[in-house]
Chain A
Amino acid sequence: MNETVVTTEHLTKRYGDRLAVDSVSLTVRRGEVYGFLGPNGAGKTTTLRMLLGLVRPSSGRATVLGAPPGTPSATAGVGALVEGPGFYPYLSGRDNLRVLARYQRLRDSAVDLALDRVGLGDRGRDRFRSYSLGMKQRLGVAAALLGEPPLLVLDEPTNGLDPAGMADMRRLLVDVAAGGQTVVLSSHLLAEVQEICDRVGVIAEGRLLTESTVADLRGATGVLLRADPLDRALAIALRVAGDDAVTVLGAGTAGAALRLAIGGFAVPALTRELVARSVDVLEIRPVERSLEEVFFEMTGVEPPAARPAVTGTEVSR
Chain B
Amino acid sequence: MNALLDSTRAELLRLRRWPAMWVLLAVWVTLNVTFGYVFDYVAYRTGEPTPVGEGAPPEALLAGLLPAGAPLTLVQGMPMFGGALVMILGALAVGSGYGWGTWKTVFTQGPGRGTAFGGTLLALSAVLVGLVLVSGAVDLGVSSLIALTEGQPVALPGWGDSVQALGAGLLVLGMWAAAGVLVGVLARGPALAVGLGLVWALVVENLLRGVSGILAGVGVVTDHLPGTAAGSLVGALGAARVGEVDGTPGVFGILDGPVATGWLVAYLVGFTAVALLVVRRRDIT
Contact with B along A67-105 (1 / 0, CB 8 A): 000111001101010111111111100010011101111
For A102, the chain B residues whose CB sits under 8 A away are: 6-7, 9-10, 13
Q: Which of B11, B17, B110, B283 has a CB less than 8 Å from the CB of A75?
A: B110
Contact with A along B262-285 (1 / 0, CB 8 A): 000000000000000000010111
For A87, the chain B residues whose CB sits under 8 A away are: 100-102, 105
For A53, the chain B residues whose CB sits under 8 A away are: 107-108, 113
CA distance A83 to B113 in the complex (A): 19
Q: How far is the CB of A100 from chain B (nearest CB, A)?
A: 6
A-B contact count (CB 8 A): 96
Tell me if B109 and A100 are in contact (CB < 8 A): yes
- Is A143 engaged at the interface, CB distance under 8 Å to the other chain? yes
Contact with A along B1-45 (1 / 0, CB 8 A): 011001101110110011110000000000000000000000000
Q: Which of B88-116 contact A (CB under 8 A)?
A: 100-113, 115-116
CA distance A49 to B108 in the complex (A): 10
CA distance A241 to B56 in the complex (A): 109
Contact A54 to B104, CB < 8 A, known contacts A72-B110, A102-B13, A103-B110 = yes
CA distance A84 to B2 in the complex (A): 30
Q: Which of A12-69 contact B (CB under 8 A)?
A: 49, 52-56
Tell me if A143 and B105 are in contact (CB < 8 A): yes
How many interface residues does chain B have, given as a range?
20 to 34
For B109, the chain A residues whose CB sits under 8 A away are: 75, 100, 103-104
Contact A52 to B13, CB < 8 A, known contacts A86-B103, A90-B18 = no
Q: How far is the CB of B150 from chain A (nearest CB, A)?
A: 43
Give the number of chain A interface residues (Cβ < 8 Å).
32
Task: Report which residue of B9, B107, B281 has the largest number of chain A beta carbons within 10 angstroms of its beta carbon.
Answer: B107
Q: Which of B58-108 contact A (CB under 8 A)?
A: 100-108
For B19, the chain A residues whose CB sits under 8 A away are: 90
CA distance A103 to B18 in the complex (A): 18
CA distance A80 to B110 in the complex (A): 11
Tell me if B10 and A55 are in contact (CB < 8 A): no
CA distance A88 to B102 in the complex (A): 7
What residue in chain B is nearest A92 (Cβ atoms)? B17
Tell me if A52 and B108 are in contact (CB < 8 A): yes
Q: Which of B3, B7, B100, B285 has a CB less than 8 Å from the CB of A88?
A: B100
For B285, the chain A residues whose CB sits under 8 A away are: 49, 54-55
Q: How far is the CB of B189 from chain A (nearest CB, A)?
A: 14
CA distance A53 to B115 in the complex (A): 14
Q: In terms of DSSP, what is the predominant structure of the interface of chain B?
A: helix
Q: Which of B100, B105, B111, B115 has a CB less than 8 Å from the CB of A89?
A: B100
Tell me if A85 and B283 are in contact (CB < 8 A): no
Tell me if B111 and A103 are in contact (CB < 8 A): yes
Q: How far is the CB of B118 from chain A (nearest CB, A)?
A: 12
What residue in chain B is nearest A144 (Cβ atoms)? B108
Q: How far is the CB of B91 from chain A (nearest CB, A)?
A: 16
Contact A103 to B101, CB < 8 A, known contacts A72-B112, A88-B14 = no
For A90, the chain B residues whose CB sits under 8 A away are: 17-20
Tell me if B100 and A103 are in contact (CB < 8 A): no
Tell me if A86 and B104 are in contact (CB < 8 A): yes
Q: Which of A54, A84, A91 has a CB less than 8 Å from the CB of B107?
A: A54
Tell me if A95 and B108 are in contact (CB < 8 A): no
Contact A105 to B107, CB < 8 A, known contacts A70-B113, A71-B112, A88-B100 = no
For A54, the chain B residues whose CB sits under 8 A away are: 104, 107-108, 283-285
Q: How far is the CB of A206 from chain B (nearest CB, A)?
A: 16
Q: Which of B6, B103, B283 has a CB less than 8 Å from the CB of A103?
A: B6
What residue in chain B is nearest A46 (Cβ atoms)? B285
Q: How far is the CB of B71 from chain A (nearest CB, A)?
A: 35
CA distance A49 to B17 in the complex (A): 29
What residue in chain B is nearest A103 (Cβ atoms)? B109
For B17, the chain A residues whose CB sits under 8 A away are: 90-91, 95
Q: How far is the CB of A187 from chain B (nearest CB, A)?
A: 20
Task: Report which residue of A75, A83, A86, A104 has the largest number of chain B beta carbons within 10 angstroms of its beta carbon.
Answer: A86
Q: A87-B102, A90-B20 are in contact. List 16 more A-B contacts (CB 8 A).
A: A54-B107, A54-B285, A70-B112, A72-B3, A86-B103, A86-B105, A87-B100, A91-B17, A100-B10, A100-B105, A102-B9, A102-B10, A103-B116, A103-B119, A104-B110, A105-B2
Q: List 14 A-B contacts (CB under 8 A).
A: A49-B284, A54-B283, A72-B112, A72-B115, A75-B109, A75-B110, A78-B108, A86-B105, A88-B14, A90-B19, A91-B17, A99-B11, A99-B14, A103-B110
B residues touching A (Cβ–Cβ < 8 Å)? Answer: 2-3, 6-7, 9-11, 13-14, 17-20, 100-113, 115-116, 119, 281, 283-285
